[in-house]
Amino acid sequence: MKKAVVITGASSGIGAATAIQFGRNGYFVYLMGRNKDRLAEVAVQCRAGASLMSCDLTDVPALNKRIGEITSTTIHKVEVLVNNAGIFDVHSTEEGSDELWQKEFEVNLMSAVRLTRAFFPYFKQHGGGSIINVSSSLGLKPTAATSAYSAMKAAMINMTQSNSLEGGAFNIRVNCVAPGIVDTPIHSFHALEESKRQEAIATMNPMQPLGRIGTAEEIAKAIYFLGSPESSWTTGATLAIDGGITNA
């Protein structure tokens, strides 16, 4: 069977860059996301082939159907799961409604919980696998007005550590990346007119000890490393890829 990877939030940003990175290295890519047109644009850049698995990850029956389609195939063997899907809201404590917290919970945490739960028995059956959770530097060092997002990303880091202890006996490795400020559509500045976008980036660059914000491709390379046999003795780790901002 041909080796494969499942990537959520694959239609843009870090997810899209990760799909392309795995494709370059011979992985068939299962692209999960809500926007089928954007997934199709990513698919043509995946050199080893890709399948569009359009799905709202908060729709549990739809998600379970897609998982079943992936795990039942006899053509591809999934070796890697990348839990990347996420949303980002900035809000004050008073503005943090139950609805906002619930949405962050469902997208940023429970989608990863459900996929991890589904693929654990699959990986056990197939002799192992690698799971990479995409957290955030805010899960390590939160800032004001990001309480819901930071809480979910901190929970993801903790979940990674617990899952890695459980998976070790079955050769299931579970690791986490914690990106800092990256130029992707999850941030509102990304959609600004180009000159204003560059102005916004210029104000953020000095926040990092390395003097600039990151790129999706830089995060994708780290995710690939943790997913591939190149990191065969690494599990339970959280890799901060943030230009040093967590320590600033």
Q: What are the tokens at 125? A: 């059956």
pTM of the predicted model as reported, rounded to 2 decimal places = 0.97
Q: What is the pLDDT along the chain (248 residues), one digit of tens a residue?
A: 899 999 999 999 999 999 999 999 999 999 999 999 999 999 999 999 999 999 999 999 999 999 999 999 999 999 999 999 999 989 999 999 999 999 999 999 999 999 999 999 999 999 999 999 999 999 999 999 999 999 999 999 999 999 999 999 999 999 999 999 999 988 888 778 898 889 999 999 999 999 999 999 999 999 999 999 999 999 999 999 999 999 98
Question: Contact 212/205 with Cβ under 8 angstroms?
Answer: yes
Decide: residue 243, CB within 10 A, 0-12 exposed, 13-18 middle, 19+ buried.
buried
Q: Which residues of 150-167 are buried (b: 16+ CB within 10 A; e: fewer)?
A: bbbbbbbbebbeebbeeb
Residue boundaries of the structural domains of the chain = 2-181+215-243
Across the strands, what pairs with 53? Answer: 32
pLDDT of residue 127: 98
pLDDT of residue 189: 81
Rounded distance between C-alpha atoms, residue 25 and residue 90, angstroms: 36
Q: CATH number of 2-181+215-243: 3.40.1440.10, 3.90.1150.10, 3.40.50.720, 3.40.640.10? A: 3.40.50.720
Sheet holding 50-54, edge to edge: 50-54, 28-33, 2-8, 76-83, 129-134, 172-179, 238-241
Nearby residues of 28 by Cβ (< 8 Å), 6 or more positions away:
2, 3, 4, 5, 46, 48, 49, 50, 51, 76
Q: What are the tokens at 138? A: 């805010």
27, 30, 149, 224: the active-site residue: 149
pLDDT of residue 186: 84
The helix (run of H) or strand (run of E) holding residue 38 is: helix 36-43
Q: What is the CA radius of gyration of the chain?
A: 17
Measured CA distances, 162 to 106, 131, 167, 201 (Å) = 20, 13, 9, 36
- 238-241 and 28-33: which strand pairing? unpaired
pLDDT of residue 191: 77
Is 149 catalytic? The answer is yes
N-to-C CA span, the chain:
46
Rounded distance between C-alpha atoms, residue 116 and residue 174, angstroms: 10
Rounded distance between C-alpha atoms, residue 112 and residue 149, angstroms: 14
pLDDT of residue 8: 98
pLDDT of residue 208: 96
